[in-house]
């Protein structure tokens, strides 16, 4: 299968990036060093090319109704320029994908824009149009993924850097707010969102203008490697790894994102989730810190102190900020309290570990 | 990108190096290998007194993004381990042929050292 390429794939290659396949896309994983890029975001500012993320536009008289019935959060709470984190769940309440949903300005052609994970754009487009037709709703659904580039400018210096090249002030933009801003002469949809735990912005812009904006935001380029270590330190979910609709279906309560579920709205999966909320979950998504030396990685077994397998590491790394081995994964609720001693099987060796609160870092 | 390949040691196809002293050898991984791995965050090494067999695993080096087995370039007995790597695994990145050394091995009579690649042969492999 041919990999999809971000608009600046060749620019990144010339810059010396190494690449990895992610969600069917050929994406930069590292420009200089994961540690160096990680540190840039924590201490100053870094920019990620996240053009592998999808963009779906939903328009028309019933756009709100369609969004409301296919996402777990309450889109009616959004004013123009607001955004919210939301889950897309199946009838059983299992997470198919997570997304940020934007309500666009009233004079915009589209009413809503949402951002599925890499490689999920076609699936989400199909889901939206199938349900629209089944429910007889009047809405247009446009998969605009190939029309846009998307960058994430993250770090404490991100507001100053973006402020230097943006025509409008960004100081009024609160967390999870967004607006159109001209950046280096290019109209961008700029949101105060991110995936690193730092202050920063995500910019969605025409792919034809990808180079202009990238070059204007001149700072440390960062790859998906540091994006992964940064989000792990925050305990943020990674689609396909910390939940996988095919291999490891999880509901939002298990995944620790129950705050995105509004049971007073009607959406696919709502009834199943109401039941989960009433009965409680069996497993919880937790942080784990290794006490012994080693590096926990995706797929490693988590056991109790009797060496009985109780769960699995879904994400793990050596935290560049803490210089300690950290992991995320699901364990039964009786093991989920921070401080509970568990063990992680690292390449055949049982290593002492403790359940930990997330985020792992003070931020 | 060109990588350092010192002429004063011998190499494995799997990117370990061994110095060629009289009866002991120092062992580590190459500049090319550390670059491929990226930021090294953990090194698991054998203990003093452990016996190594040429071409068999003797430890593990982990970067943020990958886990790689380490293969012994020689037959022999471990007489020293670079303990600094426990606290500073990044030495493997910073100075793979110097401060980032891993083991010192007392060579068996049939050490297998002669069968390793020369610097020139290894250079050809990674080019």
Q: Is there a contact between A98 and A257 (Cβ–Cβ < 8 Å)?
A: yes
Helices and strands: H and E segment counts in chain A? 8, 19
What pLDDT does A110 receive?
64
**Residue B65's pLDDT is what?**
87
If interface means Cβ-Cβ distance under 8 Å, which residues of chain B face chain A?
A: 38-39, 41-42, 44, 60, 62, 64-65, 67, 86
| Chain A contact residues (CB < 8 Å to B) | 29-30, 33-35, 225, 229, 293-295, 297, 317-318, 320, 325, 347
One DSSP character per residue, A129-195 reads HHHHHHHT---EEEE-GGGEEEEEEESTTHHHHHHHHBSS--TT--TTBEEEEEETTEEEEEES--S
Q: Examine residue A269 and say whether the peptide bond preceding it is cis (omega within 30 degrees of 0).
A: no
Rounded to whole angstroms, the Cα distance separating A101 from A78 reads 9
Task: Dump strand ranges (E) for chain A.
Answer: 18-22, 25-30, 46-49, 56-59, 83-89, 95-103, 112-114, 140-143, 148-154, 178-183, 186-191, 200-206, 220-222, 283-290, 301-303, 309-319, 324-332, 341-346, 349-356
Q: Give the closest of B60, B64, B67 to A229, CB-based.
A: B64
CB contact under 8 A, B64 and A318: yes
Tell me the pLDDT band of B127, cut-offs 50, 70 and 90.
confident
Q: Which of A319, A326, A257, A317 is nearest to A285 (CA)?
A: A257
User: What's the length of chain A?
Assistant: 363
The band of B103, judged by pLDDT with boundaries at 50, 70 and 90, is very high
pLDDT band at B21 (very low <50, low <70, confident <90, very high): confident
Residues of chain A with pLDDT under 50: none
Residue A298's Cβ-count burial label (10 Å; 0-12, 13-18, 19+) is middle
pLDDT in tens, B35-75: 999 999 999 999 999 999 999 999 999 999 889 999 999 99
Chain B hits for A33, Cβ within 8 Å? 38-39
Flag if B41 and A33 touch (Cβ within 8 Å). no
Q: CA nearest B69 in A: which residue?
A: A347
pLDDT > 70? residue B1: no
Of B42, B44, B86, the CB nearest to A318: B42
Binary contact (A34, B38; C-beta < 8 A): yes
Chain B residues near residue A325 by CB distance under 8 angstroms: 42
C-beta atoms of B65 and A293 within 8 A: no
Residue A208, pLDDT score: 98
For range B5-13, the mean pLDDT: 96
Beta bridge partners of B9: B19
Of A83, A67, A68, give the one whose Cα is nearest residue A189: A83
Share of chain B above pLDDT 90, in %: 94
Q: By CA distance, what is A295's nearest residue in B?
A: B42
Predicted confidence at residue A108, as pLDDT, reads 66
For residue A347, the chain B residues in CB contact (below 8 A) are: 60, 67
Using alpha carbons, list the distances in angstroms from residue A241 to A71, A161, A256: 20, 33, 15
Contacts with A347 (C-beta within 8 Å, 6 or more apart), sequence order: B60, B67
Tell me the CA end-to-end span of chain B in Å, nearest whole number. 9
């Amino acid at each position: 299968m041919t990999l999809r390429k971000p608009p600046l794939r060749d620019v990144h290659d010339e810059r010396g990036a190494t690449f990895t396949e992610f969600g069917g896309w050929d994406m930069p994983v590292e420009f200089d060093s994961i540690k160096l890029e990680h540190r840039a975001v924590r201490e100053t500012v870094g920019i990620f090319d996240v053009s592998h993320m999808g963009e779906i536009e939903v328009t028309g008289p019933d756009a709100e109704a369609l969004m409301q019935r296919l996402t777990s959060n309450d889109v009616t709470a959004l004013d123009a320029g607001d955004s919210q984190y939301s889950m897309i769940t199946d009838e059983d309440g299992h997470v198919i994908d997570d997304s940020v949903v934007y309500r666009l300005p009233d004079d915009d052609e589209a009413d809503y824009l949402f951002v599925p994970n890499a490689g999920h754009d076609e699936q989400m487009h199909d889901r939206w149009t199938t349900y629209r037709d089944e429910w007889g709703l009047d809405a247009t659904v446009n998969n605009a993924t190939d029309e846009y580039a998307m960058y994430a400018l993250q770090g404490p210096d991100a507001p100053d850097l973006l402020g230097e090249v943006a025509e409008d002030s960004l100081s009024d933009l609160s967390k999870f707010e967004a607006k159109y801003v001209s950046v280096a002469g290019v109209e961008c949809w700029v949101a105060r969102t991110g995936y690193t735990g730092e202050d920063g912005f995500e910019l969605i812009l025409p792919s034809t203008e990808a180079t202009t904006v990238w070059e204007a935001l001149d700072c440390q380029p960062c790859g998906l490697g540091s994006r992964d270590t940064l989000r792990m330190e925050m305990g943020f979910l990674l689609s396909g790894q910390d939940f996988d609709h095919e291999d490891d279906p999880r509901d939002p309560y298990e995944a620790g994102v129950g705050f995105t579920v509004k049971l007073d709205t009607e959406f696919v999966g709502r009834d199943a989730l109401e039941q989960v909320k009433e009965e409680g979950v069996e497993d919880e998504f937790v942080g784990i810190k290794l006490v012994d030396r080693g590096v926990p990685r995706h797929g490693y077994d988590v056991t109790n102190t009797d060496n009985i397998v109780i769960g699995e590491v879904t994400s793990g790394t050596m935290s560049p900020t803490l210089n300690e081995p950290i992991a995320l994964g699901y364990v039964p609720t009786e093991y989920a309290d921070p401080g509970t001693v568990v063990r992680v099987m690292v390449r055949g060796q049982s290593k002492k570990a403790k359940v930990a609160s997330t985020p792992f870092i003070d931020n | 990108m060109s990588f350092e390949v010192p002429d004063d040691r011998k190499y494995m196809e799997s990117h370990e190096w061994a110095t060629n002293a009289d009866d002991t050898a120092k062992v580590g991984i190459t500049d090319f290998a550390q670059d491929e791995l990226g930021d090294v965050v953990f090194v698991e090494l054998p203990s003093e007194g452990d016996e190594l067999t040429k071409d068999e695993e003797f430890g593990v080096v982990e970067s943020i993004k990958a886990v790689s087995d380490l293969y012994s370039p020689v037959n022999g007995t471990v007489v020293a381990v670079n303990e600094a790597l426990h606290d500073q695994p990044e030495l493997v990145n910073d100075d793979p042929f110097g401060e980032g050394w891993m083991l010192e091995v007392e060579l068996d009579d049939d050490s297998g050292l002669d069968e390793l690649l020369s610097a020139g042969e290894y250079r050809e492999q990674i080019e």
